[in-house]
Structure formats: C-alpha cells, structure tokens
Structure 1
Amino acid sequence: MTYQTDGGPENGTGFGSRLKRSRENAGLTIDEVSQRLKTPARIITALEADDWSILGAPIFIRGQLRSYARLLGEPMPEAVEEAVAPQSEAVKLVSHTHTPRYRRLAEQAGRRAIYIVLTVTLVAPVWMATRSHLSGSLAPAQSLDLPLQAVDADGTTPAPSSPSAAERQPLVASMAALPERRETATAALTLRLHGDTWVEVFARDGSLIEKGLLISGQVRSYDAQRVGRVLLGNSSAVEVQNAGKHVDLAPFSQANVARFTLSSDGSLAPVAH
C-alpha cells in the first residue's frame, strides 16, 4: 500500500519529493544519507517515493520521516504528522503467559507440602534418637578415670564414696537448625514504558508472545528463558531490565528502533539485517 501526502508523488508535490529535492540541493547521495541516519538505503528510497508500505507501523514511519527531515532541515507538514500519528485507541494486547489463579494456588500448596515432607523426613529421625533428653531421664555421665582404692590396715577395702558434684558431667544433646529454604526467582525481561511504543516479542521457537502498541506508564515482564527476539519502536522511551540489570539499548538501536535477541545464557545480541 502506498501513502501519499500533499498531492502524492506523481506530480512531485509529495513530502517525499520535497525531501528528495532537498537532498539533491544539499549534494548528498542516498548512500551518504543512509550512512548518516544508520538506515538502509531502501528505506531512504521508500521515503522519497512516499511508499510507506515497507516501513511497518505508523510510529516507525513517523520516526523515519522526522529523522530524515531533521537531517535536511525540512519541517514536517501538519498533514504528514496527522497521517502517521498512532491510533488514539490502544491495541488490545493478549497475554499468552497468563497463569490462572487456581493454578498459582495449586503450585503454592504443592511447594508447601514438599517443604513439610522434607522437614519431617529430616527432623523425625533426629528427634527420635534424642527424645530421651525431653523426659529428663538421662543418667549423669561419670569419669572413666577412677581413683585407686585405698586398703585399710586390716586388709579390707573401704566402701567407695559417692562422686562429687564437680565429677558429674551431664549428657547434652544438640540439634543444629535446618537451613532456610529459599526459592530462586525466575530471570525476567522487563520493559518500562515512558512513552507510547510499538512492541513485538517472539519466543525462541518463533511463536508470537506479544505484539501491539504499549501506552506510556505500562510495565511488561516476560520469562527470559522463553524470549528469543524483541523489537521496540521509539526505543528511547523504553527502559529495559534483564534479570534486574539495566540494559543499554544503544548498541541495538537504529533510527530510534531497537532490535535484539536473547540467548539461553541471558546475554543480548543485535539482530542481523
């Protein structure tokens, strides 16, 4: 589909024709503009021809036109701004990673049951082996180093005296506390929106996780082990965190559009064009 403004490209009065004339007057080639904007030459050609069909969503078109017009010092006509303005009604996003409430409750109950079983399995044998100290029936321990018995003058052995209190050593049983169980949170890829942004998130198998226009102020989180590829329009308005760490989008951005892949070890890499 070809979009036309200010009369269309046929009579040379479209905004794309104005950009082309400005480029030629400035003595720039398409390849030179492509290098300055870090944008493929076919995108520059499509902008000059008012052919927006290969550029995708309106928010991408607006970003490309603004960057090109700013380079050449051309103001954006109001008609063009309106033509590429995003829809006022946000696209309804359907989450494919929602977990029903009953399932979350069942998983929590299962984890608690496992914890109780493990606790009983570890503590019961120790308690059984040391339960005698609870009844207070432990006999005092006596030293094995017994003194030599004295012999009277008539050859008889006197009755042994009872051990002193200092010689009695109580038997004490100690049981170390079990280590605390902590669950490790799943690594997550989080998007925080500070402006309206077009988002496309794909799984490692190529299936679509989420696609649509997110509104400023929204937050989205995804399982990093599942995400394979991400595309962010208006990337300057997106704050990305991977496993709780801030991600710099500059290495993955061109013309305010970020594209990157997420590997199994959690590292990010740019998408090859």
Structure 2
Amino acid sequence: MPAPSSGVGERLRAAREQAGLSVADVAGRLRMQLRVVEALEAENWSRLGAQVFVRGQLRSYLRLLGLPEALSDSVPDATLAQAPELTPRTYTPPMQRMLDKAMGRAVYVVITALIVVPVWVATRTHVGSVDDVTASLGLANDPTVAQPESRPAGPTPVTASLTGLSKRAQPAVPADEAPAVDSTASGELMLRFNGDSWMEVNGRDGRQIEHALVRAGQERRFGIGDVGRVVLGNAGAVDVVRGGDVQDLSGFQRASVARFTVSSDGVLAPISE
C-alpha cells in the first residue's frame, strides 16, 4: 500500500501557483530538471534517489516559495534511508584464481620469448658472418689501395718467375765498382713498387698475364711487345719505367687507380671507355 500523503506536495503546488510561477520557472531558478519539480509536487520520492538528495531538493523548493524548511522533516519517505541492493556474484575458488594468474603469466612469458628469440638469432647470425677479408691481404691500413678482384686459377706468370731467378743469380757488387748500365732495356717495361699495391696486366690478345698483390720494394718486368693493358692500384706508389725513364701516369690516373695501354713501340695511352 502506498504511504499516505503528507500534504507537502499540495502546499508546494499551491504556493507556486499563488506566486505566478510555472514548473519551468521553478526548474530554471533552482537549476533542476522538470521531472524533479514534478516529482516533488507529486510526492513521488522514489524517482528522486537517495534521501539526502530528496531532502536537499525539497528544502530548496520550500525556501524558494517562502515555506518553512521543517516541512521536509515531516515526510517519512523523504527521510527513510534505503539499503542498497546487493547483486550476488559467482564464487571463485582460491585455486581457480591462482591458476588464472599463473596462466596469465605463462602467456606473457611465451609472447616475450616469441619476440625476443628471433631477434637474438638474427643478430647472432649477422655478427657471426662478418669476416675480415682485408686483414688477410695485408692492406687494411692503407685506405688508398683499392682491393683487386679475385685472381682466377691458372699458372704463375713466367715473366715474374724469371725475374726472381735473375735477381738471385746476380752476385753482389760494390756500388763504387758497378758499371753504369741502363736499369731497364729499351724493349722492356718495368713496374717498380715503392708501396703496397696491386696490379693487373693483360696481353695484346686479352689474356691475363698477371693479377696480384705486390709488396713495397718489389719489381715486375714485362716485354713491351707482350703487354697490351695495365691497371695499377695505389698508382702514386708505383714507378713505370721504360727505357730508363719513369713515365708520367697523371694522365691515366683516376683517384688512386691508373689505367693505360702500351703500344708495340712502348708508348703509354689512356684506356678508351
């Protein structure tokens, strides 16, 4: 059965009409919603929520119309505290909760491993595959020397081997007793290496005569009629001698590499691109 009316709602409506105010006017002055003003005049307290809100809204309305605020205490439903409704929850055993936590941590560990392990393997493979090729050639400390291409398999050039034999066969002669003889025959091209370098010498028919790394202090001699094309790395450290004269390589040099051809009479010319 609904609770009997206390009459405060009727008094609110009568006082409002007597003051010439509409429901919208009261709502605007009190900054309330229209449904709240209507609920107060209808004594429909259940639409207004908790008792503290009902009492405060009712007192504000009474104060606006000049009615005693004590009328809010005479309303039983307005001062009755309603217990909050409790919603039952499903009971979860402690072991189930622990298992759920363990499963969540396991999933986290698996996802982390799937991300970290491939990155580690890729990095490890990349680091392990680095080889120091230039160190094995002995030219890593000379940035001006270009690295030659790999020498194709084949027999050692005969010219270089004969040069070494001729050097070993010559007896040591004091400098003051040595005869003044031209160091290079007119029909011979000599490469004198003052620093570490590399060389590639091809014949007139295009075959490769020699392609090798050469240490400082060594020499190579070739017949002028046999040489067709010469490429020298670190050309500034190599003297090209023909007929006892050192040839000027500035016209054949680009960066530290010199490329030139040798004619049948020993004249050097740039390689046409």
Provide the TM-score with structure 1 as the length reference. 0.37
* Greater relative CO (CA pairs within 8 A, separation 6+): 1
Provide the TM-score with structure 2 as the length reference. 0.37
Rg: which structure is higher?
Answer: 2
More helix as a share of residues:
2
